[in-house]
Amino acid sequence: MSVVDFLWRFPSVQMAWRNLGRNKLRTMLAALGIIIGVVSICSLGMATAAIQQQATSQLGSIGNEVSITSGQDSDTDGVTDDQVDTIRNLVTDAEVVPQKTNSTTISSRNGREVRVSVTGVTNAAALYNLTSGEAPSRLLSGALLSNSTATTLGIEEGDPVEYDGQLYRVQGLIEEENAFGFGGGELVLPESGLSDQNHYNTVTVVAEDSSTATEIGGELNQYFNTEDEEELSINTFGNAGQVGGFLETLSLALLAIGGISLVVASVAILNVMLMSTVERRGEIGVLRAVGIRRSEVLRMILTEAALMGTLGGLVGATLSLAAGLVIFQMITGDPLGALQWSSAQYLVYGFGFAVVASVLSGVYPAWKAANDRPVDALRG
Amino acid sequence: MSVIELADVVKRYQNGEEVIAALDHVDFRADRGEMVTIIGPSGSGKSTMLNMIGLLDTPTEGTVHLDGRNVTDFSEDELTEERRSGIGFVFQDFHLLPMLTATENVELPSMWDTSVDRHDRAEDLLQRVGLGDRLNHTPDQLSGGQRQRVAIARALINEPDILLADEPTGNLDQDTGETILTELTRLKEDENVAIVAVTHDEQMLEYTDSTVRLVDGVVTEVSGR
C-alpha cells in the first residue's frame, strides 16, 4: 500500500484535500501568505545565526581574556608584584601574564621609522602566535616583532632592533590575526628590557573560553574591589559574552518581525477558512443532516487548515533553505554553515509555527461550522 | 408499528415580539414500505414537519418516536447517530458535493465510518437507479434527474428505515419528475423503507399511499388510510 492510499483511509484528510482543491487560487494565496511568513522567520533567523557565527569567530582571540590594570583608587601607577602574586593564587585554572608596556620608534637601515608599542612579557606564548613556530613561554632574550612592521622596515628574523639603548635580536614575527586591527605594530621584549618600570601596566588572564573569563573577572573584582574603592580595574573586554547578548537581542527582534508576518498570514488563513465555511454552510448542513458527527466536521476543517499550513510550511522552509545558503555565503563565505543546527533550527521553527498558526486559525471557523444547527445551515 | 411517529407536536418560533406556531398539535406516522406525502401551500409548516421527522429539529411540545423509541429529548449528538443509522435525506437542490464523484457522494454518509466499506453497495445502488455508467462522474457532468438519483442512492446507503424527500421533483421537469417518483416507489418496496415526501406538486399524489394536508401548521386532511 502506498503512502497516498494509506492517507486516503483518513476521510478527513481526503475531504480536506478535495475541499482545498475546489478553489485552488484561494488556497494558493492563503498558502502564499504562510510561505512569506515562514521565509521571513527562517531567513531572519538564519541571518542572525550567520552574523553570530561570524562575530564569534572574529572575537574568538580576545574573548577569553581578562585584562587587569591599575584601578582609580590605587596608590600605585600600575599593578604591583604583590598583586600579581595574589592574582596567581586566586586564579588557578588560567594563565596569568603580567606585562609592562611602553612605546618607541624603531628605525631601519633603509631610514624608515615606525612607531610601535613595546610590551615586556615573559610568557609570550600565551599572548602571541608567530608566523613560524611557537612563541617562547619564557622570553628571556631577543625580541618578537609584528609581521607587518617587519615588512615595512625590511627587518627579518635574526636582525637586531634597538630599545632603550640595547639591541635585541628578532626571534620571531608575530602573526596579526586580530580582526579589529587595533594596536598597530608591536615589539615584544623580555620583561627585563623594561625593568626601569616598577609596576606592570597590564595583567592578562588567558582563560579556556569567554564564560570562564567572565567568571574569573567576577571573582577578581569581588576580591580586589568594593563598591566605593577600585584597587584594580578588571575588564572582561566588552567581550563575546556581551556581544553574544546583543546578538541574541537582535535575533529576538528579527524573529519578532518574522513572527508578525506569520501572524498576518494566519489572519489571512482565518479569513479564508471563515469565508470557505460560510460559503459551504449549506453543504456542511447536508453533511450534518446525513449523520456526519460534529467532531467529524470539526476534524475535516481543521485538517484543511493543517494541510494548508503544512504545504505552505514545506514550500516556505525549502525556499528558506535556499535563502539561508545565500545568506551564509554572503556573510561567512561558507554556504554549508546554513545546514548547521544553529541555523537550520529556524527551518524547523518556521515550519512548526506555520502548522500551529494555521491550525489555530482554523479552530474558530471549524468550531463555528461544526456547531451550526443543521436545520439552520440547510436553510442557508 | 410505525417507524416514525409524531404525537401532538407543537413547534413555536419567536419572531420579534410575535410567537408563531409553525406546527400546531400535529399527529403523524409512517410505516415501512409506505410512501406518505405531506402537501400544502408554502409557509404551511411542511418543512418544519419534515425537520421534526428527520430529527433535524426538536418540538416545543409533544413527542417524537423513532421505531418505538422516544427520541424527543435526545441530545444533538444522539440525534446525529440516529440520522446516521436510520434516516436518509433527499433535497430539492440535490446538495451533492461538487468535488466528489457520484460513487463518492453516495458513500459520503458512511465515509467516516471506517468499520464498514460501503463502496460496493454505493455502486450497486447507482446501478439500480440507472447510473451504472456514471459512477465516476462528478455532479457537474450529470443532468438534474441524474443528480437527484445520486442523491436518492446516497439517502439509501446506510440502509435507513426512513427516506425523507423535500420537494424531490421541485427542480425537475415533469417527465424527469415522474421517473424519479417511479424510482422511489420501486425502492420503498425493495429496501422496505418508509418514504416521507414534502411537496406542493399535486402530481406526486398519484404515487403515494397516503397524504397529509397541512394548512397553517394544522393537519386538515389525512387521506389514503
pLDDT at B147: 93
A73: which 3 cell numbers?
583608587
Using a CB-CB cut-off of 8 Å, the residues of chain B touching A12 are: 112
List phi, psi (to 5°) of A205. -105, 120
Judged by a CB distance cut-off of 8 A, whether residue B137 touches chain A is no
Q: Is B84 on the interface with A (CB under 8 A)?
A: yes
Lowest mean pLDDT among A24-38, A43-57, A282-296, B166-180: A43-57
- Strand, coil or helix: A66: strand
Cβ–Cβ below 8 Å for B108 and A290: yes
| Residue in B77, B91, B154 closest to A293 by CB | B77
Question: Among candidates B41, B47, B31, which has minimal Cα distance to B197?
Answer: B47
Grid cell at residue A249: 537581542
Q: What is the mean pLDDT of residues A232-246?
A: 69
Average pLDDT over residues A50-67: 74
Q: Is B83 within 8 Å of A290 when comparing Cβ atoms?
A: yes
Give buried/exposed letters for A102-131 (b at 16+ CB in 10 A, else e). Answer: beeebebeeeeebebebbbbbbbbbbbebe
Q: For chain A, what percent of residues have pLDDT higher than 90?
A: 19
Contact (CB, 8 A) for B68 and B224? no
Mutation site for B-interface testing, chosen from A14, A286, A376 by largest number of B Cβ within 10 Å: A286
- State yes or no: pLDDT of A179 exceeds 50: no
* Mean pLDDT across chain A: 84
- CA A9-A10-A14 angle, to 5 degrees, is 95
* Closest CA–CA distance from residue A293 to any residue of chain B (Å): 6
Helix then strand count (H, E) for chain A reads 11, 9
Residue where the block lists cell 446525529: B80
Lowest mean pLDDT among A39-48, A169-178, B5-14: A169-178
From CA A283, how far away is CA A268, in angstroms rounded?
Answer: 23
Mutation choice for A interface testing from B89, B93, B112 by most A CBs within 10 A: B112
Mean of pLDDT values over A54-66: 71
Show the CA angle centred on residue B96, arms to residues B92 and B102, nearest 5°: 125
Instruction: Taking residues A55-78, report their average pLDDT.
Output: 77
Interface membership of B114 toward A (CB under 8 Å): yes
pLDDT digits (tens, 9 = 90+) for A342-370: 889 999 999 998 899 899 999 999 999 99
ipTM value: 0.90
B139 in contact with A, Cβ within 8 Å? no
Which string of DSSP letters, residue by residue, matches B157-210? TT--SEEEEESTTTTS-HHHHHHHHHHHHHHHHHTT-EEEEEES-GGGGGG-SE
Q: How high is the pLDDT of residue A244? A: 65
What integer pLDDT is reported at residue A41 of this predicted model?
87
CATH architecture of B33-59+75-223: 3-Layer(aba) Sandwich (3.40)
Can you tell me the distance from the alpha carbon of B6 to that of A106, in angstroms, rounded to the nearest whole number?
114
| Nearest CA distance, A377 vs chain B (angstrom) | 11
Mean pLDDT of B138-146: 93
Rounded to a whole number, what is the distance in Å from the CA of A375 to chain B's nearest CA? 6
> Would you say residue A180 has pLDDT above 50?
no
pLDDT for A59 = 64
Q: Do the Cβ atoms of A172 and A143 come closer than 8 Å?
A: no
Model confidence at A234: pLDDT above 80: yes
pLDDT in tens, B169-186: 888 888 888 888 898 899
Helix count and strand count (H, E) for chain B: 6, 10
Nearest to B66 by CA among B9, B10, B2, B11: B2
Q: Which residue has the higher pLDDT, B33 or B203?
A: B33
State the first-to-last Cα distance of chain B, in angstroms, to the nearest integer: 15
Q: Could B109 and A290 be called an inter-chain contact, meaning their C-beta atoms sit closer than 8 Å? A: yes
Nearest to A185 by CA among A212, A218, A151: A151
B80 and A291 Cβ atoms separated by less than 8 Å: yes
Query: Cβ B51–A22 below 8 Å, yes or no?
Result: no
Choose the closest CB to B80 out of A14, A15, A291: A291
B11 interfacial to chain A (CB closer than 8 Å): no
Please name the residue that has the C-alpha cell 576580591. Answer: A223
